[in-house]
Amino acid sequence: MSKLTSISCSSKRRSGGHAAVEVSLLAPWILFLFIGVLDLGFYSYALICTQSAARVAVVFTSVRSASAADSAAACQSALGEMSMMSNVRSLSTCNSYPLIVTATAVTGIDGAPASEVAVTYQTDQLIPIPGLLAGRLTVTRRAQMRVQ
């Protein structure tokens, strides 16, 4: 066996541990990134559901002027829209966290009577991201529609 062949074989044996060291150094960062993306997805879904619940509730309350300030009807509409959220499934009222829905009869921008619905939702306790999110997000969305 020549000296050149023995040098190349020994250098191959010595470089085998570099990949294991690199993976062990990067694994916590990759896990942290994965958890952050997962939390961001849950928060984004909560924002979308809250906005959709406000829209559905204001459409329901703006049908006639008598129902413009009907928070109970707005609550039932919002509960139907947010039924996929895990901490809302068992709710029957909307006057405390995690879901608060209020409907108000207001005067719209054009001076006509309108209905305004505010939906406030507090997410489940997720994995906190230090310095960024405390693990729980509270979202409020408002929608306004002219009474027909």
Q: Give mean pLDDT in consecutive 10-residue pieces for the chain, a chain of 148 residues.
A: 57 69 91 86 94 97 93 95 92 94 95 96 83 81 95
Spell out where 2-146 has E strands.
Answer: 95-96, 99-107, 113-122, 138-146
> What is residue 138's predicted lDDT score, i.e. its pLDDT?
92
Q: Is residue 84 assigned to a domain? A: yes
What is the per-residue burial (b if ≥16 Cβ within 10 Å, else e) of 9-48? eeeeeeeeeeeeeeeeeeeeeeeeeeeeeebeebeeebee
Domain that holds residue 77: 24-146
Q: Please state the pTM of the whole predicted model.
A: 0.79
> What is residue 17's predicted lDDT score, i.e. its pLDDT?
81
> What is residue 4's predicted lDDT score, i.e. its pLDDT?
56
Q: Is residue 7 assigned to a domain? A: no
Q: Is residue 3 assigned to a domain? A: no
> What is residue 119's predicted lDDT score, i.e. its pLDDT?
98
How many structural domains compose the chain?
1
Q: Is residue 80 assigned to a domain? A: yes
Give the number of other CB atoms < 10 A from CB of residue 8.
Answer: 10
